[in-house]
Structure 1
Amino acid sequence: MSDGHDPDRLKDFEQRLERLKAGQQDERPHTEEHYSMAQHAWRMVIELVAGLGIGFAIGYGLDALFGSAPWLMVVFTLLGFVAGVKTMIRSAHEIQKENEAALAARDERE
């Protein structure tokens, strides 16, 4: 091994490092991507809970109106759950399409 510094190797290394730094500047930071995914996850959870809550409220109201407790509450809670899951699946498809479009755009740039 040589004890001296090779100026050509050092210059080449600095150029490669600068190219890598320049390539990373146009991408968004990892933390922004993480927060974006957390926002999508919370959106899905809220959609599911909203479906359950609305179904429960409708069923409870109809049970109070018709005196058929707890049958309509159970039925409408299950319907609310199904509606919430369908909405979550629709949201997941939207997110998947956004990610595929972003990936295609990135591939076209390269």
Structure 2
Amino acid sequence: MPEPDETRDETIKRLEAQAEALRARTATTPQDYGVKAAGYGYRLLGVLLGGLFVGIAIGAGADALLRTAPWGMICGVLVGFVVSVWMAVRSAQRMSEEATREWGPPKDLPPDDEED
């Protein structure tokens, strides 16, 4: 009976090294969702403030042209606020759908073992 070229311990070490190399090659690095989530937040803030400022500008323009101060500004602020909230809700829905497609369904947080 011929002797094997390597002993059993050497074979196990070689296989463990190959398995570790395979794990390192196939391991996925976790994505940093915080940066993308912050971007979503800034986008919503931009939509809210942008709608409000556009409403103020339109109201101020109406006041200057029609000489109806302060009613144009008041109506512009109110209309701008309503439109910006409506746009923010629509944007949030689209961002939520996009995040669900990219990241999968939301996962529950693990239970907190600390009692308050």
2:77 alignment counterpart = 77
The total of aligned residue pairs comes to: 92
Deviation, 1:99, is 2.2
Amino acid at match of 2:28: Q
2:91 alignment counterpart = 91
1:24 alignment counterpart = 28
1:50 alignment counterpart = 50
1:101 alignment counterpart = 101
The TM-score, its normalising length taken from structure 1, stands at: 0.67
Structure index of larger Rg: 2
**Structure with more of its chain in helix, by fraction:** 1
- Structure 2 unaligned segments of length 5 or more: list them: 1-8, 106-116
User: C-alpha deviations, 1:46-97, integer Å up to 9, x for none?
Assistant: 1111101110011011111111111111111111111111111111111111
The TM-score, its normalising length taken from structure 2, stands at: 0.64
Cα RMSD over matched residues?
Answer: 2.8
- Structure 1 unaligned segments of length 5 or more: list them: 1-6, 105-110
Q: What does residue range 58-73 of structure 1 map to in structure 2 within 5 Å?
A: 58-73=58-73
Identity of aligned residues (%): 32
2:5 alignment counterpart = none
